[in-house]
């Protein structure tokens, strides 16, 4: 049977960028004889408007069955007044939680044509292609005890960093598997010098590494890692780290390469019966209400998220590379959505013009 994909466009620019992904999917069906069983459903504010809930149970069930879920973005000012329990974000959080997506993959990839756009020197970022794997379901954001308590005559804010061996083991395995598909180099970051969870993290990652003798494993304190990421990011291939450090390091790494409109992501869970991980792919950006409905959104983050799905859920690494090269080609030819325009005097292309150009580049590939 064909690989199955559930598409959840969501709110704001979500449906606009997803329309461009549909063009790419259609191209694969027509020109490469790669048919996907695509179903589409509502999430976020759009689902709330239709069903009074940001994620219908039927949609949740579908997400559990398909090979991969591709999500646009959720949220918008219209929904700010809603009760916390039905806010658009809750739809996304429910997907992540019930699919148990514990490994968040955030690539930082610099297309040569955009190297000038980075805040760093061109030779530091040109050709950069690294991947940060952030543990997503445990650590200090979830650990108990937590809360604000009275102690003596003042209040104390408490969060607990807590990792079990199995939680570290499974995210480490995701990172090693990824390293095997890439340059076989993995750097684990923690603070084993001052944190118990860091000591355990280093031990467990080292132990898992014995199952991946081909992967060159190194360890770095996360603060030194932050410095090295800015100084010479090309020394890394895959980085694995916990939820808190991963939150900071992946946002910092993202900005090495430029616009929010360019950044894809994946969240992976346990392997399914077919051996592939449960997976949700989504651009890093939100619903961008400030530009929604104007044809200004950059569809590349969402298109590159689909490329990640090709590589990690469908084992179509060559096709993922083909798609990434099509994006590279279009950028090299000078096409820029408004978010990619630093210099004066260049007319931006629209969302759909960018999608059309990428499909044309695929056609020529
Ligand atoms: P945002 O990512 O939506 O927008 C931040 C800025 O980047 C805006 O100026 C926007 O125009 C620009 N931008 C974002 N994506 C772009 C693209 N593809 N092309 C061109 N420009 C782009 O973040 P913001 O403004 O903080 O949040 C807006 C809404 O999105 C809120 O309701 C928020 O809760 C939601 N949100 C949803 C996320 C998700 O669905 N995963 C993630 C982040 C925010
Ligand atoms: Mg963050």
Q: Are residues 251 and 271 in the same domain?
A: no
* pLDDT classification of 343: cutoffs 50, 70, 90: low
Q: What is the CATH number of the domain that holds 99?
A: 3.40.718.10
The confidence score (pLDDT) of residue 126 equals 87
Please indicate, yes or no, if residue 246 is contained in any of the structural domains.
Answer: yes
Q: Are residues 30 and 5 in the same domain?
A: yes
Ligand 1, atom 22: closest residue by C-alpha = 261
* pLDDT classification of 344: cutoffs 50, 70, 90: low
The neighbourhood of ligand 2, an ion, using CB within 5 A, equals 247, 251
How many percent of the chain have pLDDT more than 70?
99
The confidence score (pLDDT) of residue 332 equals 93
The confidence score (pLDDT) of residue 275 equals 87
The confidence score (pLDDT) of residue 145 equals 95
Question: What would the pLDDT profile of 224-234 be if each residue is shown by its tens digit?
Answer: 999 999 999 99
Please indicate, yes or no, if residue 121 is contained in any of the structural domains.
Answer: no
Q: What is the mean pLDDT of the chain?
A: 95
138 Cβ inside 6 Å of ligand 1: no
Please give, one letter per residue, the 3-state secondary structure of the chain.
CCCEEEEEEECCCHHHHHHHHHHHHHHHHHHCCCCCEEEECCCCHHHHHHHCCCCCHHHHHHHHHCCEEEEEECCCHHHCCCCHHHCHHHHHHHHHHHCCCCEEEEEEECCHHHHHHCCCCHHHHCCCEEEEEEECCCHHHCEEEEEEEEECCEEEEEEECCCCHHHHHHHHHHHHHHHHHCCCEEEEEECCCCCHHHHHHHHHHHHHHCCCCCCEEEEEEHHHHHHHHHHCHHHCCEEEECHHHHHHHHHHHHHHCCCHHHCEEEEEEEECCCCCEEEEEEECCCCCCCCCCCCCCCCHHHHHHHHHHHHHCCCCHHHHHHHHHHHHHHHHCCCCCHHHCCCCCCCCCCHHHHHHHHHHHHHCC
Q: Rounded CA gap, 267 and 93, in Å? A: 12
Please indicate, yes or no, if residue 124 is contained in any of the structural domains.
Answer: no
Of all ligands present, the nearest one to the C-alpha of 134 is 2
Q: Are residues 43 and 141 in the same domain?
A: no
The confidence score (pLDDT) of residue 179 equals 96
How many percent of the chain have pLDDT more than 90?
87
CA 100 to ligand 2 centroid distance, Å: 19
The confidence score (pLDDT) of residue 89 equals 94
285 Cβ inside 6 Å of ligand 1: yes
Q: Are residues 193 and 220 in the same domain?
A: yes
* pLDDT classification of 113: cutoffs 50, 70, 90: confident
- Per-residue pLDDT, averaged over 191-209, amounts to 98
264 Cβ inside 6 Å of ligand 1: no
Please indicate, yes or no, if residue 119 is contained in any of the structural domains.
Answer: no
- Per-residue pLDDT, averaged over 324-348, amounts to 89
Q: Are residues 158 and 267 in the same domain?
A: no
> Does 155 score more than 80 pLDDT?
yes
**Both structure tokens of 190:** 């923690």
Question: What would the pLDDT profile of 58-102 be if each residue is shown by its tens digit?
Answer: 999 999 999 999 999 999 999 999 998 899 999 999 999 999 999
> Does 117 score more than 80 pLDDT?
no
Domains: count for the chain: 2
Q: Are residues 84 and 162 in the same domain?
A: no
Q: Are residues 247 and 284 in the same domain?
A: no
Q: Are residues 100 and 138 in the same domain?
A: no
The confidence score (pLDDT) of residue 341 equals 86
What pTM was computed for the model? 0.93
The answer to whether residue 102 is catalytic is: no
Ligand 1, atom 34: closest residue by C-alpha = 75
The confidence score (pLDDT) of residue 34 equals 93
Please indicate, yes or no, if residue 206 is contained in any of the structural domains.
Answer: yes
> Which position among 26, 223, 318, 333 bears the catalytic label?
223
Q: Rounded CA gap, 220 and 227, in Å? A: 11
Q: Rounded CA gap, 328 and 255, in Å? A: 18
> Does 171 score more than 70 pLDDT?
yes
Q: Are residues 56 and 172 in the same domain?
A: no
The answer to whether residue 169 is catalytic is: no
Please indicate, yes or no, if residue 320 is contained in any of the structural domains.
Answer: yes
Question: What would the pLDDT profile of 271-318 be if each residue is shown by its tens digit?
Answer: 998 888 999 999 999 999 999 999 999 999 999 999 999 999 999 999
- Per-residue pLDDT, averaged over 180-209, amounts to 97
164: CB partners within 8 A, 6+ apart: 138
> Which position among 191, 237, 281, 339 bears the catalytic label?
191
The confidence score (pLDDT) of residue 255 equals 82
Q: Are residues 34 and 133 in the same domain?
A: no
The answer to whether residue 28 is catalytic is: no
Question: What would the pLDDT profile of 23-52 be if each residue is shown by its tens digit?
Answer: 999 999 999 999 999 999 999 999 999 999
User: Which residues span the domain enclosing 334?
Assistant: 1-112+259-365
Is 141 within 8 Å of 243 (Cβ atoms)?
A: yes
The answer to whether residue 181 is catalytic is: no
- Per-residue pLDDT, averaged over 134-158, amounts to 95
Is 201 within 8 Å of 189 (Cβ atoms)?
A: no
**Both structure tokens of 231:** 């100084």
> Does 119 score more than 80 pLDDT?
no
Q: Are residues 98 and 146 in the same domain?
A: no
Question: What would the pLDDT profile of 213-257 be if each residue is shown by its tens digit?
Answer: 999 999 999 999 999 999 999 999 999 999 999 999 998 888 887
Please indicate, yes or no, if residue 122 is contained in any of the structural domains.
Answer: no
Is 297 within 8 Å of 291 (Cβ atoms)?
A: yes
Query: What is the dihedral angle through the alpha carbons of 39, 14, 335, 126, rounded to the nearest 10 degrees?
Result: -100
CA 321 to ligand 1 centroid distance, Å: 26
């Amino acid at each position: 049977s064909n690989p199955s994909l559930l598409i959840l466009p969501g709110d704001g620019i979500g449906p606009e960028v997803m329309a461009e992904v549909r063009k790419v999917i259609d191209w694969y069906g027509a020109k490469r004889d790669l048919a996907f069983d695509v179903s589409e459903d509502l999430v976020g504010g759009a689902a709330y408007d239709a069903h009074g809930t940001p994620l219908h149970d039927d949609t949740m069930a579908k997400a559990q069955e398909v090979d991969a879920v591709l999500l646009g973005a959720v949220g918008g000012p219209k929904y700010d007044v809603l009760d916390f329990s039905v806010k658009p974000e809750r739809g996304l959080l429910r997907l992540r939680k019930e699919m148990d997506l514990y490994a968040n993959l955030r690539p930082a990839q610099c297309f040569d044509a955009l190297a000038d756009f980075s805040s760093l020197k061109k030779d530091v970022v040109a050709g950069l292609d690294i991947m940060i794997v952030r543990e997503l379901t445990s650590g200090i954001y979830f650990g108990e005890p937590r809360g604000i308590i009275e102690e003596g005559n003042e209040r104390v804010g408490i969060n607990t960093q807590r990792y079990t061996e199995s939680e570290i083991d499974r995210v480490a395995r995701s990172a090693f598997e990824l390293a095997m598909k890439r340059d076989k180099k993995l750097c684990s970051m923690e603070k084993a010098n001052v944190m118990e969870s860091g000591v355990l993290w280093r031990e467990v990652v080292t132990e898992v590494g014995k199952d991946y003798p081909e992967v060159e494993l190194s360890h770095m304190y996360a603060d030194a890692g932050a410095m090295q990421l800015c100084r010479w990011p090309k020394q890394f291939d895959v980085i694995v780290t916990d939820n808190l450090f991963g939150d900071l390091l992946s946002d910092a790494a993202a900005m090495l390469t430029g616009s929010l409109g360019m950044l894809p992501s994946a969240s992976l869970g346990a392997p399914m019966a077919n051996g592939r991980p449960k997976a949700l792919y989504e651009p890093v950006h939100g619903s961008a209400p400030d530009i929604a409905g104007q044809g200004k959104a950059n569809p590349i983050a969402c298109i590159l998220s689909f490329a990640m799905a090709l590589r990690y859920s469908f084992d179509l690494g060559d096709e993922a590379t083909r798609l990434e090269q099509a994006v590279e080609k279009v950028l090299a030819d000078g096409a820029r959505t408004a978010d990619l325009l630093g210099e004066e005097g260049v007319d931006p292309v629209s969302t759909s013009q960018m999608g059309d150009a990428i499909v044309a580049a695929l056609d020529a590939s």
